[in-house]
Structure 1
Amino acid sequence: MPKLKGISRILKSDKLKNIVKKIMGFISSHRLLSLLIVGAVVALVVILAIFGRKEVVVVQTQEKRKAPVTINRLEIIVPPGAFPTGKRFLIKEIPRDSERYRRIVEKSNFLEEVYEVVPKDGREELALIPLTLRYRIPRKYYLGNDSFNLFLGYMKSDDDVLRRIYGCEMKEDDRGVYIEAKVFHTSIIGFSAGSPKEFVMGIRNMIERPPSYKPPVLIIPGIDGNFVGAIPKTRTNENPQGKNIWEFIFPDRSIWVYRYPLKSTRPKVYTDAAEAFFERNKRDYLIYEAKRLATELKRFPYKFDVVAHGIGGLLIRYAIESDPTVTNVRRVVLVDVPNLGTNLANPVYLNLLYGKSPDALAEIYGTDPDSIRFLVKNALDYLEKVNVFWVDLKPDSDFIHILNSFGLRKDVDYLAISGTTPSFTVRITGTELEKLYPEFIEGSGDGVVTTNSACYEGKMDCVKFPHSFSDIYLQPEVLDKIKEFLEGGLKEPEEYVFKDDTFIERTASPGCEILPTPTIVEEITETGTKAESKKSTKMLQLEISTGERYLPLNYQTNRIFEFPTERGKFRFLNSDYGIYVVMENEITLLTDILSEPSSSIVYVGEKIHANMFDGKLYVLDSSG
């Protein structure tokens, strides 16, 4: 009661009445300014409420366009149809001052805020259409439009290891820079950074060899980066590229590689160019990359032999089969290429198994729990690695239909290589799962691609080997087959052999004096006290081992040089530098013919042959 009486006295006091009166007077005389102040206060309260939230609920919508739900730095979009029924997710920010945050960061190297995205119904399901994540990063971590060292990652639990989300993209809007990624499931999410590297795209040289009649080899990898062939820990200052497996298979050819961001983060300079392409064309990353590859090939004036793996084979096929103006590809080797697609890229099939009890599924499908675990793990791993390319790799995709509508090039030789043994064993033969995933059946697939898809239904020459998708290109018999195919059709040109001239360059004219041996000819005419030398033009006859020939000496001088050499043991070769006098074991260069003559010995040794070619003197000695 005393407190209430005190409050009542304050409300009735003249001081408070005066304050209220002044505020009301200000509002009445400054209505517009007062409205702006009130609006700003309300907006500030709303912003603090949104960005100060530690958790928020995001709901799947049936609308075609859905604005992202934001909690601090993380935005998430659940597209229509992502789940069979409406799905609600709880997004929680893990407090940075908590023990849990410290433990997660120690295991993951996450930077800044970490979030946990969990389904409200507790059911872990795989999305049929990927969710979009956007993480707004502080500007201090952004190194420029060509930087690609930042990426999003996830952990399945607090004790799990960091798993990279492949195919992230750097983008920017009026709110700043952010990383965008597509995911099929939710978990603990954060962003991390790798070592800064130079972003390199296009056809790049790995091993340089002297030019030859054999075309250089172009390597186009897929999701397996080891296909490039780089041998670890072999880089030096003298050889910054390091050693490469392919240089041992093709020791006399240059080795090139086509680089494109399949699994790595795509920098802003790349995503800007891709978005500009998508504004004018179908939104398809494989088509975009294939068009870039075709453009790159046209830059080179010589032909390539191509060896491609997985998705890389789809790129080279689309590049040359959709564009007949690409004419510098001679032969193509397609190693485990999904020419007809692969079921591992179909999230509908994996959705039947993901997040469900392996024991229950094993009983339903008549197999064992370990086979279920291996199947789910490997199918999910492939789906995550191909990221945005998944939509093109399904057997019924528009891309596969478009690609195979072009037809194989008649001026290009193809060889398909298919593996028939997965790298792991799943016992699903004879079960319903065999129909969903024939890629995992020994004899029918390599663990990623079926033999029917790799061999393009027999429409191209195909060789099968008992190896898996990830190790087939490392096997000696496979490498020998690739080399044998690419060596085919090459014809070594005939080597040109220089021969000494035997034809008569010039015959003597009537009345022209023939000198049997080199000598000095002078004609002196006395005029007063001064002796003048007449200009004379003489023909010099040299008899050498190949017979007689006549060489003109039109030097407009009174001197023709006499050489202390036996007759028949030397000859002349004219050049821009002077006259080469080729003797049996010595070659001398005479210069300053028009003034005082000088000479220098340029070769001493056992000479087999010497001749001028393209303005240069070539000497073949006894050592070869």
Structure 2
Amino acid sequence: MSFLKKLLEIVLKRKILFFTLVFISITVFFLLIFFQKEGSLKIGKEGAESGFINLRVEIPPGAFGKQKVLKITRLSDEERKLYPDVFVGDLYRVEFADGVDEFALKPIRLKYYFDAKYLRGENYNNLTFAYATEDGGYRIIPGSMIGKDERGYYVEAFTYHLSVFGVVLRSAGFQKHGIRLLREAVNSSGPAVLLVPGEDPTFEGVVKDNNIWETIFPDRTIMTYEYALYEPRSLAYSEMYRSFIEKEGRRSFIDFESDFLSQEILKYSQYEFDILAHGTGGLIVLRMLQRHPEVNNVRKVVLLSTPVQGTNVVNPLYFSSIFYGKDPEVLEDIFGIEWTKLKMLTLHIRNLIDTLGEVVQEILPDSQLVKELREFARNDVEIVSICGDTPPYGVDVSGTELERFYPEFVKGRGDGFVSIQSCRVGKVEQLSGNFYDLYSREENVAYIRKLLKYEVQVFSGFRSDDYEEYLPSKNPELSEESVQKVVEAKETKGTELSVLPVKILFENFLERIRSLELSSYLSGALVGKEVYIATESGVFAWDKKVFDKKIEFFKKVEDYASFVDEGDIFIVDNIGIKKYAPFPLVGDISDALITRNAIIYARVVPGGVRYYLFRNGAEKLLATSPGTTVRMKSENGNYLLITDGEVVAIGSDFKEKGRVLSSLFGEKVKIVDASFKDDAFYILLNDGSIAFVSSSRSETKNYGLTVPKKVLNFQGRILVVYDGVILDLSAGKAQRFDRGIIDVFLGNEGLFIVFDEKVRVSVEEWRLSKD
């Protein structure tokens, strides 16, 4: 028994020891992972992927010509102090173990997992990869993309060289993607000029609050296509690109943007376009025309320094072999070119490669995209391709060994990005200038203006006097039979065809329920069972103040309300008031209507009003109207955009359903308000008249009521509000009030009427009488 007892004690002790050793091993393993300071991997022609918990480094096959050992070190807190504070999270030094730096022949993918707290939203591009520079600064890696996988959120980017890498937190900004209007020429009959920039951001022509293209084309509508070639890319933007890659089975940022541009141009089908494109932006335009024959509203395309046949300038093999890590003074003796010019040449090439990242692979002379562009065959669009004749920085490699590699830097043949051979498509022209100033030289601007000239079409007049200034959603042509009915309806003295009542009976059909006095009033809305009233000092839930700040753009939208305060959007729903999202718009906005996923807003400009749609981080022109006053409202699933010169109906899909000009009713007549019911307009005019307009007929009646205020659609009834009268147009009756009416908004069972009490205002609930 004694022997067995000792044996049991030994086994028990060893078992405890065994589990202790296992526990220590597991702990050490996780500590090594989480506090890892250094790692390495061997890379060869087949490529490799490795890294830390937060940083992954992927080397593609063929990036380096021989086997190398990559060393990755997480910087200590003390080392971290040597670098700018803009970095968030850990910094990593990625280098070769042998100390010999090399330039990759294919882009290296970096992937960094960051704390989710730094992500402002899926449409924000506030996080980007960056590398530390030798002078103690940092440089953003262009085209950084935010992503998310099972591990969490990450930023990925592509680079051709190694350094100290980290993630930089920028000021939050919405991703810009799509066509943006710069200037609307309301009275112009010429095609809109669309700018598609490339590597050079100054091509957009922005100078403070002005744009040089508006001066060059003073009588034309000017738009620009915004996309993230070198800008950081938000999560939403990046996921769209990744979906494209998955669908296409290949990586092509140029084709991704060409598809998106085609969608944008088709949205603006009411416009004809002349396109001015620079550098890689020109490739996006050409691929858009090649991949999308349905785009047929492009008249002319002018390409500036576009590498249609590819370019050697961004070839990583040439740069790595000839320039990377080489002393310009030594190269001066080899090539016979002044070393200062060689240094500028090196910086120019490296900047372009850094800017383009993985796009470099698409614009090399033997790339798949360039090969496909050789089959370009659109004959319905006039294309002029312009190349410069002078390399930048006074560089000229003529008569040197470099001429074989870089014809783009031969004076008289290239402009520092393309050569006269590599820009060939359509009609080819060579003008004086380099890649950076070709589009801004005075003589070249005159030539571009000449290329895009247009003939003003002579208006031959209307066919008859019965032309209706109403544009239905599909704008169908009226048959001869329907036109005749319109004429008869206008000429008929009876009431058989009349929609508007011939007579109005005055009687009380509303009765007061409750009343509230306030010092001021801006707007009101019933949300659920709660009445919210916006005043000059804040928002009230009937008589209780629930938001103590001055607000803007308070409106009822569907079953909720929304407003803006100090740069933030607030939503009012059944739960109450809550901050929803940052308000992304700046500048002089006359009115805004905010839904949960979009913003419609208006700017008054010389000659009229522009309405814009801001959605998914992108802005587009929604409509333009003549007039100087603006009113926007949500009504039964539609949005009404109203000026004194026109009313436009927009559906919930943000597509236009119809519009009516005030000139239909007379030269001096102005629109006050409108409602849209059953695809027809009920319009209140400044002389007190009410007009009914549909795609087949129109009629106008004046009941002698003055000071028109508003039109409402209440449970299928059309109510018209005047200074002291509310008219039920559907029932042909009206009720007078003993005070002036400021505003009326809808309740569930009746109306909330805001009366002018001289010093104060009263808000009263009135319901339909049971009689």
The answer to whether TM tops 0.5 is yes
Structure-1 separation of matches of 2:284 and 2:326: 36
Matched, 1:93 2:61: no
Q: SS at the partner of 1:105?
A: coil
Q: Please list every run of 5 or more consecutive structure 1 residues that lacks an aligned counterpart in the other structure.
A: 1-15, 28-33, 235-242, 501-551, 557-574, 581-588, 601-624
Residue 571 of structure 1: aligned partner: none
2:81 to 93, 102, 120: 102
Matched, 1:431 2:400: yes
1:400 to 341, 359, 370: 370
Structure-2 separation of matches of 1:113 and 1:420: 47
Tell me the alpha carbon deviations over residues 486-523 of structure 1, each in whole angstroms, 9 at most, x when there is no partner. Answer: 114x23323749999xxxxxxxxxxxxxxxxxxxxxxx
1:109-258 matches, within 5 Å, as 109-157=86-134, 159-232=135-208, 234=209, 243-258=210-225
Residue 345 of structure 2: aligned partner: 375
Q: CA deviation at 1:39?
A: 6.0
Work out whether residues 44 and 64 of structure 2, in 8 Å CA contact, stay in contact via their aligned partners in 1: no
Q: Please list every run of 5 or more consecutive structure 2 residues that lacks an aligned counterpart in the other structure.
A: 1-5, 466-490, 496-662, 669-686, 690-701, 707-771
2:33 to 29, 50, 60: 50
Query: Which amino acid is 1:184 matched to?
Result: Y
Kindly tell me: are residues 307 and 40 of structure 1, through their superposed partners in 2, closer, same or farther at Cα, counting changes over 3 Å?
farther
Work out whether residues 117 and 189 of structure 1, in 8 Å CA contact, stay in contact via their aligned partners in 2: yes
Higher deviation after alignment, 16-25 or 347-356: 16-25
Higher deviation after alignment, 391-400 or 441-450: 441-450
Residue 270 of structure 1: aligned partner: 237
Q: CA deviation at 1:19?
A: 8.4
Work out whether residues 61 and 79 of structure 1, in 8 Å CA contact, stay in contact via their aligned partners in 2: no
Residue 491 of structure 1: aligned partner: 456
Query: Which amino acid is 2:459 matched to?
Result: E
Residue 329 of structure 1: aligned partner: 298
Q: CA deviation at 1:385?
A: 0.6
Q: TM-score, normalised by structure 2?
A: 0.57
Query: Which amino acid is 1:317 matched to?
Result: L
Q: SS at the partner of 1:277?
A: helix
Kindly tell me: are residues 54 and 475 of structure 1, through their superposed partners in 2, closer, same or farther at Cα, counting changes over 3 Å?
same
Q: CA deviation at 1:338?
A: 0.9
Matched, 1:69 2:46: no
Residue 296 of structure 1: aligned partner: 264
Query: Which amino acid is 1:114 matched to?
Result: L
Matched, 1:479 2:440: no
Q: CA deviation at 1:62?
A: 4.5
Higher strand share: 2
Structure-2 separation of matches of 1:397 and 1:317: 15
Tell me the alpha carbon deviations over residues 440-495 of structure 1, each in whole angstroms, 9 at most, x when there is no partner. Answer: 222111111112223x0xx532332221111222222222222211114x233237
2:329 to 346, 359, 372: 359
Work out whether residues 41 and 71 of structure 2, in 8 Å CA contact, stay in contact via their aligned partners in 1: yes
Work out whether residues 59 and 78 of structure 1, in 8 Å CA contact, stay in contact via their aligned partners in 2: no
Work out whether residues 45 and 66 of structure 2, in 8 Å CA contact, stay in contact via their aligned partners in 1: no
Kindly tell me: are residues 19 and 306 of structure 1, through their superposed partners in 2, closer, same or farther at Cα, counting changes over 3 Å?
farther
Tell me the alpha carbon deviations over residues 83-113 of structure 1, each in whole angstroms, 9 at most, x when there is no partner. Answer: 11111122222211x1x4223226xx32232
Q: CA deviation at 1:275?
A: 1.9
Residue 63 of structure 2: aligned partner: 82
Structure-1 separation of matches of 2:22 and 2:219: 75
Structure-1 separation of matches of 2:141 and 2:430: 33
Work out whether residues 279 and 306 of structure 2, in 8 Å CA contact, stay in contact via their aligned partners in 1: yes
Work out whether residues 447 and 468 of structure 1, in 8 Å CA contact, stay in contact via their aligned partners in 2: yes
Structure-2 separation of matches of 1:554 and 1:358: 92
Q: SS at the partner of 2:83?
A: helix
Kindly tell me: are residues 493 and 182 of structure 1, through their superposed partners in 2, closer, same or farther at Cα, counting changes over 3 Å?
same
Residue 280 of structure 2: aligned partner: 311
Q: SS at the partner of 1:261?
A: coil
Structure-2 separation of matches of 1:597 and 1:77: 77
Kindly tell me: are residues 20 and 169 of structure 1, through their superposed partners in 2, closer, same or farther at Cα, counting changes over 3 Å?
farther
Q: SS at the partner of 2:203?
A: helix
Residue 30 of structure 1: aligned partner: none
Matched, 1:448 2:417: yes
Higher helix share: 1
Larger Rg: 1
Kindly tell me: are residues 554 and 446 of structure 1, through their superposed partners in 2, closer, same or farther at Cα, counting changes over 3 Å?
closer
Kindly tell me: are residues 187 and 252 of structure 1, through their superposed partners in 2, closer, same or farther at Cα, counting changes over 3 Å?
same
1:464 to 427, 430, 446: 430
1:531-570 matches, within 5 Å, as none
Q: CA deviation at 1:404?
A: 2.0
Matched, 1:284 2:260: no
Q: SS at the partner of 1:467?
A: coil
Matched, 1:415 2:381: no
Work out whether residues 216 and 254 of structure 1, in 8 Å CA contact, stay in contact via their aligned partners in 2: yes
Structure-2 separation of matches of 1:392 and 1:264: 18
Structure-2 separation of matches of 1:120 and 1:248: 56
Q: CA deviation at 1:126?
A: 0.6
Tell me the alpha carbon deviations over residues 130-173 of structure 1, each in whole angstroms, 9 at most, x when there is no partner. Answer: 2111121112211122221211111242x343111111111112
Query: Which amino acid is 1:474 matched to?
Result: S
Kindly tell me: are residues 40 and 148 of structure 1, through their superposed partners in 2, closer, same or farther at Cα, counting changes over 3 Å?
farther
Structure-2 separation of matches of 1:372 and 1:301: 48
**Quick one: percent identity of the two aligned structures?**
31
Work out whether residues 304 and 387 of structure 2, in 8 Å CA contact, stay in contact via their aligned partners in 1: yes
Kindly tell me: are residues 120 and 248 of structure 1, through their superposed partners in 2, closer, same or farther at Cα, counting changes over 3 Å?
same
Kindly tell me: are residues 54 and 410 of structure 1, through their superposed partners in 2, closer, same or farther at Cα, counting changes over 3 Å?
same
Structure-1 separation of matches of 2:664 and 2:255: 56
Residue 537 of structure 1: aligned partner: none
Q: CA deviation at 1:40?
A: 6.2
Structure-1 separation of matches of 2:164 and 2:211: 38
Q: SS at the partner of 1:468?
A: coil
Work out whether residues 103 and 161 of structure 2, in 8 Å CA contact, stay in contact via their aligned partners in 1: yes
Work out whether residues 392 and 434 of structure 2, in 8 Å CA contact, stay in contact via their aligned partners in 1: yes
Kindly tell me: are residues 26 and 117 of structure 1, through their superposed partners in 2, closer, same or farther at Cα, counting changes over 3 Å?
closer
Tell me the alpha carbon deviations over residues 205-229 of structure 1, each in whole angstroms, 9 at most, x when there is no partner. Answer: 2212215321111111111112112
Work out whether residues 84 and 136 of structure 2, in 8 Å CA contact, stay in contact via their aligned partners in 1: no
Work out whether residues 44 and 66 of structure 2, in 8 Å CA contact, stay in contact via their aligned partners in 1: no
Tell me the number of residue pairs that the alignment of Structure 1 and Structure 2 aligns.
Answer: 477
Question: CA RMSD of the aligned region, Å?
Answer: 3.5
Work out whether residues 313 and 416 of structure 2, in 8 Å CA contact, stay in contact via their aligned partners in 1: no
Q: CA deviation at 1:363?
A: 2.7
Q: SS at the partner of 1:343?
A: coil
